[in-house]
Chain A
Amino acid sequence: MSKIMHVEDNAAIRESVKLVLEKEGHEVVSYETAAAAIAALAEVKPDLAILDIMMESMDSGLEVNEKIQKLQPGLPCIFLTSLGEEVQQIFAGRLQTGQILQKPVKPETLLPLVKKMLH
């Protein structure tokens, strides 16, 4: 069983990702804000992080990732965004690690990627 940290400001998406991952046997720790996730990182020590790119600020998911990578270097990350491929590419240019998925993320897309990134 893997521990997955999920940071998402939308409650419905937070719940749906949690349910999908928990059904696969993962432990999911969800946070509504980037600050709460950062504060809890050392204690949670996740195996994977799933981050919403646009939360309070335009690209808070990327900022969270930068902080996460300092606190827990090499932690694999999956980024979720509502936006299209053009914006995704802009964000991708700023990412050294991780994959971007477009919301709403389907189980058949999310689960194989989670599996791949955990191995």
Chain B
Amino acid sequence: MSLYTLEPAEWGGTSPSDHKADSRRTFPLGILLEKARWFIRMRWVVVLSLLSFGLLSHLAESQLQALGVIPGKIWPIAIAAVLVLGNSFVALAVRRPQRSLSLPVNLWVQIILDMACIGVVIHFVGVFSFAPSFYFLHIALACIFFDLWASFGVLLLALASYTLCIYVELSGWVEPAALMLSWQQEARVEMSGWSIVTMSAGYALIMLALWYIVSRMSVRLREHERSVVQAAKKVLRLQEDRDKYAVQMTHQLKAPLDAMRSIMMLITEGYVEPVSGDIRKRLLEVDKQAEGLGELILDVLRLYNLQKAAGRPIEPVDIDLGERIRAAVVDLKQMADKRRVRVNLDVGELSIKGVPLQIDLLLHNLLSNAITYSFSEGEVHVVGGQDEANGRIFLEVRDQGIGIAAEKIPKIFEEYYHTEEAFKHNSTSTGIGLAIVKKIAETHGLKIQVESEVGKGTCFRILFPRRLPQLPPDHDRSCPICE
């Protein structure tokens, strides 16, 4: 007695990527909408930081001063309030687009608002501090979200905001300020001569360089993304054509066969002039061969469909396995009676998750194989239950048939393979049935154990998983370029 176990490889393949074709240079509204939500979340972090600083300035003014920090009692709260207002407008545009400005317009309003707020923050943190780098994030985001000229517009807005910030301080409209006492003193020293020009020109150059690099990268990435999407579409179209061709080809091959079998049926069933018993017997033999050929043609299509579906997500539903097994036995009763094989059932209520059509196909193939390769007057035992050792649902299909030699068992799941003994016993064997079982097992994460002894019989034991195989993680939705 030999035992062989087939454990399908881990669930592989790629997840169906949500390729949204975008022939435009900017992102579609749906993606902008998602980014707007992300923008709102980021802004709440800024609001929280500003409010924390404002509160700290009120509660621990002296401690802050001791650390050299100039407390900000009004400006952080005022800016936070403005940003809350801005966020509310964006949130409204996202939730109720019909009752608000269009999303692109709204985003531009928000950008201008942000630039104004950053200008105020830079003034209070210090024009010669790290504060102007606050613009960098906006410029980089604009390069990612918008086209080249729109992102250039954001760059100009940032430069205008920064220039205005310096100008109002230089012209004496507002007194220079800073977050740290030391920065304020440095600022007073530096607020003259070439240092201002050098400093502001330096920041402007950095902003320009940042815009150039990020926008170039974004354009390249978008071009690359578009070509990937186009290639994916082309592959999808080719796949569709191939699927259509497979169905048409199957139809073209099987239709004449069906016509021939229909004519043979008319003769053998007595719908036309009667023929001798000998001719009828031979026609029935031809019909049997034709039936086998028809099944082979359909099996090729089934295998093709399963191969095509491999690695793709399945849509599992609850399946009453016991009911399916009983239905398969009823379907195959005629076949079993013809071969004088008795099918014994010992299956209780078993609930699994899976694709009904595929589970039916698996059951049909296992049961029909067991009947086909049984000896006349043999018995097939179908047992289903829950494994006490591991709690997994199992199904056993045991026959008392021709059996399989140990060295041949690993090959039986290969496409178009059948042992010599199997072919001698059943010349219409297609050699695809167990390849189909293997594919379905892979899709459903089933474990198959084969136990066999030549001349004594074979037992196929299917172990169903507690959970269906997991899909590989979806593509990173937080990455704006990926979308």
Say whether A86 contacts B301, CB under 8 Å. Answer: yes
- In the complex where A13-B259, A16-B271, A82-B254 touch, is A58 in contact with B248 (Cβ < 8 A)? yes
- In the complex where A12-B260, A58-B248, A84-B298 touch, is A19 in contact with B266 (Cβ < 8 A)? yes
- In the complex where A23-B271, A104-B265 touch, is A82 in contact with B301 (Cβ < 8 A)? no
Say whether B262 contacts A13, CB under 8 Å. Answer: yes
* Interface residue tally on B, bucketed by range: 20 to 34
A95, CB-defined interface residue at 8 Å: no
* Contact indicator per residue, chain B 297-319, by CB within 8 Å of chain A (1) or not (0): 01001100100000000000000
A25, CB-defined interface residue at 8 Å: no
B250, CB-defined interface residue at 8 Å: yes
- In the complex where A23-B271, A86-B301, A89-B357 touch, is A104 in contact with B262 (Cβ < 8 A)? yes
Say whether B258 contacts A103, CB under 8 Å. Answer: yes
Say whether A83 contacts B254, CB under 8 Å. Answer: yes
* Contact indicator per residue, chain A 80-91, by CB within 8 Å of chain B (1) or not (0): 001111110100
A50 to B145, CA, bound (A): 57
* Contact indicator per residue, chain B 256-283, by CB within 8 Å of chain A (1) or not (0): 1111111101100101100000000000
B25, CB-defined interface residue at 8 Å: no
What chain B residues lie within 8 Å of A105 (beta carbons)? 262
- In the complex where A83-B247, A84-B301 touch, is A104 in contact with B271 (Cβ < 8 A)? no
- In the complex where A10-B259, A54-B251, A58-B248 touch, is A86 in contact with B265 (Cβ < 8 A)? no
What chain B residues lie within 8 Å of A107 (beta carbons)? 265, 269
A106, CB-defined interface residue at 8 Å: yes
Distance of B61 from chain A, by nearest CB (Å):
72
Say whether B271 contacts A20, CB under 8 Å. Answer: yes
Distance of A4 from chain B, by nearest CB (Å):
16
Say whether B357 contacts A86, CB under 8 Å. Answer: yes
- In the complex where A16-B271, A19-B266, A106-B265 touch, is A87 in contact with B247 (Cβ < 8 A)? yes
What chain B residues lie within 8 Å of A82 (beta carbons)? 250-251, 254-255, 257-258
What chain B residues lie within 8 Å of A17 (beta carbons)? 262
B453, CB-defined interface residue at 8 Å: no
Distance of A98 from chain B, by nearest CB (Å):
19
Distance of A60 from chain B, by nearest CB (Å):
12
A45 to B399, CA, bound (A): 53
A55 to B305, CA, bound (A): 22
- In the complex where A82-B258, A85-B357, A104-B258 touch, is A19 in contact with B305 (Cβ < 8 A)? no
Say whether B247 contacts A58, CB under 8 Å. Answer: yes
Interface of chain B, main secondary structure: helix
Say whether A19 contacts B272, CB under 8 Å. Answer: yes
* Interface residue tally on A, bucketed by range: 20 to 34
What chain B residues lie within 8 Å of A16 (beta carbons)? 262-263, 265-266, 271
What chain B residues lie within 8 Å of A58 (beta carbons)? 244, 247-248
CB-CB nearest in chain B for A23: B271
What chain B residues lie within 8 Å of A19 (beta carbons)? 266, 271-272
CB-CB nearest in chain A for B244: A58
What chain A residues lie within 8 Å of B247 (beta carbons)? 58, 83, 87
What chain A residues lie within 8 Å of B244 (beta carbons)? 58
B360, CB-defined interface residue at 8 Å: yes
Known: A82-B255, A83-B298, A85-B360. 18 other contacts (CB 8 A): A10-B255, A12-B260, A12-B262, A15-B262, A15-B266, A16-B271, A19-B272, A54-B251, A58-B244, A58-B247, A82-B257, A82-B258, A83-B250, A83-B251, A87-B301, A103-B255, A104-B265, A107-B269
Chain A residues with CB under 8 Å of chain B are 10-13, 15-17, 19-20, 23, 54, 58, 82-87, 89, 103-107
28 residue pairs bridging A and B, Cβ less than 8 Å apart: A10-B258, A10-B259, A12-B262, A12-B263, A16-B262, A16-B263, A16-B266, A16-B271, A19-B272, A20-B271, A23-B271, A54-B251, A58-B244, A58-B248, A82-B250, A82-B251, A82-B258, A83-B250, A84-B302, A85-B357, A86-B301, A87-B247, A103-B255, A103-B258, A104-B258, A105-B262, A106-B265, A107-B269
